[in-house]
């Protein structure tokens, strides 16, 4: 089976590097599936899971946004922050979501509205990643 090289990096570390038979990612315009030999593609990434399939094995990562570049033999994920999905903690994600919602509700305070709603979106995406993983197991 043909494979494609995949690198996932975030600004503070290298997350994953290896071969894959299929890569799934959440682009800004919707979910993407990338098979080896894909035509060159450049897209933004929305907060959500990036899944790397190699044969029957699958690994999942959470990515809070960034860019995805595809060359026929290479996929590069430039993530703002990425983490292995196993290390995602549901209770932490729920806590973050609640905190963000609270900040949004508390509008009169001198808070950065855009920042708070970005935080909320990220927390929700994190939760979705966890829930999706649960379903797959």
Partner 1 sequence: MANTKEVRKQIASIKSTQKITSAMEMVAASKMKKTQDTMLEGRPYSLKIKDVISHVALANSEYPHPFYEERTPKKACFIVVSSDKGLCGGLNINLFKQVIAKSAELNEQGIESCFALIGTKAAGFFKSVGGQVIAVAEKLGDKPNPDDLIGLTKVVLDMHKNGDIDQAYLCSNGFVNTMTQQPNVEQLIPLAPEEKEESSPTQWDYIYEPEAKELLDGLLTRYIESLVYQAVIENNACEQAAKMIAMKNATDNAGDLIKELELLYNNVRQAAITQELSEIVGGAAAV
Judged by the rule CB under 8 A, the positions of this chain that interact with partner 1 are 7, 9-14, 27-29, 39-44, 66-67, 69, 71, 76, 78
Give the whole-angstrom CA distance, residue 72 versus residue 41. Answer: 9
13 vs 55 by CB, closer to partner 1: 13
Closest approach, Cβ 119 to partner 1, in A, equals 12
DSSP 88-114: --HHHHHHHHHHHHHHHH-TTSS--HH
43 vs 94 by CB, closer to partner 1: 43
94 vs 118 by CB, closer to partner 1: 118
């Amino acid at each position: 089976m043909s494979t494609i090289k995949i690198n996932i990096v975030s600004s503070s570390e290298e997350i994953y590097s290896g071969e894959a038979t299929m890569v799934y990612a959440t682009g800004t315009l919707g979910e993407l599936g990338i098979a080896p030999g894909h035509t060159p593609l450049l897209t933004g990434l929305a907060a959500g899971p990036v899944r790397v399939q190699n044969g029957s094995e699958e690994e999942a990562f959470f990515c809070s946004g960034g860019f995805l570049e595809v060359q026929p033999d290479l996929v590069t994920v430039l993530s703002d922050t990425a983490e292995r999905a196993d290390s995602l903690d549901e209770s932490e994600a729920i806590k973050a979501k609640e905190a963000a919602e609270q900040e949004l509700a508390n509008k009169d305070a001198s808070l950065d509205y855009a920042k708070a709603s970005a935080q909320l979106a990220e927390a929700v995406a994190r939760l979705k990643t966890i829930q999706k993983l649960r379903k797959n197991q």
